[in-house]
Structure 1
Amino acid sequence: MIKAFVLIVVDPAETQSVFDSLQGVDGISEVYQVMGPYDIVAVIEAPSITQVPALISQHIRVVEGIESTTTCVTFPDS
């Protein structure tokens, strides 16, 4: 299983709406509102790295209010 952290910048007026929209999305295991250069961190899990881009583009980037994302993929367990 591949885990990745998606660091999300959101329109300030849409933070709660984006947070609510991301909860319960298939493949997103955790969602946090955070302080700093990013507004939300979503933790995604996928069976393989090849599925990560589709999950981000089809289920995260399409949410209204998201301005940008940065994805950090973890190293697989050794």
Structure 2
Amino acid sequence: MVKAFVLIVVDPAKTIEVYEKLRAVEGISEVYQVMGPYDIVAVVEVPNLTDVPAVISRHIRAIEGIESTTTCVTFPETAGAR
């Protein structure tokens, strides 16, 4: 399983609406409203690295009110890494 954190800037008037729509997106396991330079953090969990761009471009960035996204893909866990 591949996990990515999507840092999202949202039109302030649409934060709650965007949050609710993100919660319904297949491939998103968690959604948080946050303070700071980003408004929402969505956690994407998909089987393959190649699935990440589709979730972001087709499902996340298509939501009205999202102004920009930054995606941080995690490294897979490796045996012995601590």
| TM score, norm. by length of structure 2 | 0.93
- In our comparison, the structure showing a higher alpha carbon Rg is 2
| TM score, norm. by length of structure 1 | 0.98
Residue 25 of structure 2: SS of its match in structure 1? coil
Match of 2:16 in 1: 16
Give the Cα–Cα distance (whole angstroms) in 1 for the partners of residues 50 and 62 of structure 2: 19
Match of 1:7 in 2: 7
Identity across the alignment (%): 73
Unpaired runs of 5+ in structure 1?
none
Residue 17 of structure 2: SS of its match in structure 1? helix
Match of 1:77 in 2: 77
2:59 is equivalent to residue 59 of structure 1: yes
How many residues align? The count is: 78
Residue 77 of structure 1: SS of its match in structure 2? coil
Unpaired runs of 5+ in structure 2?
none
Q: What is the root-mean-square deviation of aligned Cα atoms in Å?
A: 0.5
Match of 1:29 in 2: 29
